[in-house]
Amino acid sequence: MAVSSSLFISSLQGSMVAPKTLKCYRENMCSPSNVSCRQSGYTKSMYLTHSRLLPSGKLLKWEQTDRFSSKDRIQCCAVQVENAPLFSVGKKFQLDDVIEALQFDRDILGAIFEVASEMEKIEKNSPGSQILKGYLMATLFYEPSTRTRLSFESAMKRLGGEVLTTENAREFSSAAKGETLEDTIRTIEGYSDIIVMRHFESGAAKRAAVKAGIPIINAGDGPGQHPTQALLDVYTIERELGKLDGIKVGLVGDLANGRTVRSLAYLLAKYQDVKIYFVSPDVVKMKGDIKDYLTSKGVAWEESADLMEVASKCDVVYQTRIQKERFGERIDQYEQARGKYIVDQNVLDVMQKHAVVMHPLPRLDEITVDVDRDPRAAYFRQAKNGLYIRMALLKLLLVGW
């Protein structure tokens, strides 16, 4: 196995976020036994992987040294970077948490999709799977959910695990008494092995992951991100079209507040020759950070006010609802935006035969019911694919590849 000659010394003085599997203790100069520990002359080392620290296809070997920071009294670590297989059966999953779409690269996406395909076979052919027997999942939802919460709970039970659930945690948990998110997470991790959380504040999942010693899955954080939805969206596109490179995707509707379209844009940027069209009312246009990111990655994008023209060009028309709950007291702006872009038979008539209509659901009136009869209406197949993706993520986070 080829070993890189490069080494680096980590002072761990705040410039790097240490993974959950790598903890640092200032006074006893001994890191946990699952990393490296020098006691009574004995040194133990092992390989670690973590997406926040490692490039794709690498493992780190941490070795303790006798060098200490005189200021902070922290033992330094020399690191050897070695090539190693990413997805060997039984290996630890590369991520400790699923927080945002930016965590994934193309190789990991492909591997997750392969696991999801295996999960579909289990769901259809192997009822009573015990892959996650003995594991408990807590679902903590501060905002309403049907598909995401129930698909996660179904995923856990179909793999033999158990579920602890709270619905409307904003009102019916200790949050109503003023408990902080951080305290809630530290409490619930004592009762479960993994937490699936939806929150009304952007960035809440990151805050939870910092405090938790168990995996956190972001099931949507306000207008921020919804990474598991993006995963099932890309998985659906690949299954429906047979490819992900060279596709044209129209994102339609509430692009300013839609966490699903934001996360999907990040993932689509992993693929070659993709073009994205943004079609939305003026008050809910896609924000500049996504446009800047796509430009930085060389992804072509274009804003358009003409849904019919875009639909005629695209392989995927991804419709979203205008989110009334994000407008607050600006009801006049909501009414102005709602109903401007509707996918109906007229849109289907200009779409290509192989193209598909997708929607993260729930829908209001932005896709007419008669569209459901068209085989190009993929949104209920899309929702079912969410089960397989979430089964895959739970399996990977709890027991590895």
Active site residue 226: yes
Residue with tokens 């010693």: 213
For CA atoms 66, 69, 70, 73, give the dihedral sign: negative
What residues are paired with 357 via a beta bridge?
Answer: 317, 377
What is the rounded distance in angstroms from the CA atom of residue 103 to the CA atom of residue 270? 11
Residue in 71, 124, 177, 373 annotated catalytic: 177
Residue in 158, 198, 239, 275 annotated catalytic: 198
Q: Which residues of 31-62 are buried (b: 16+ CB within 10 A; e: fewer)?
A: beeebbbeeeeeeeeeebbbbebeeeeebbbb
CB neighbours (10 Å) of residue 393?
A: 27
H helices present in 126-226, as ranges: 147-158, 169-172, 181-188, 204-211
Give the DSSP per-residue string, 81-111.
EEE--SS-TTPPPS-S-B--GGG--HHHHHH
Residue in 20, 58, 92, 147 annotated catalytic: 147
Active site residue 198: yes
What residues are paired with 42 via a beta bridge?
Answer: 39
Active site residue 148: yes
Active site residue 52: no
Residue in 49, 139, 148, 260 annotated catalytic: 148
Residue in 149, 158, 199, 226 annotated catalytic: 226
- Is the separation of the CB atoms in 269 and 300 below 8 Å? no
Contacts of 217 (CB under 8 A, 6+ apart): 97, 98, 152, 194, 195, 196, 197, 228, 393, 397
Helices (H) and strands (E) in the chain, counts: 12, 14
Catalytic residue ranges: 147-148, 177, 198, 226
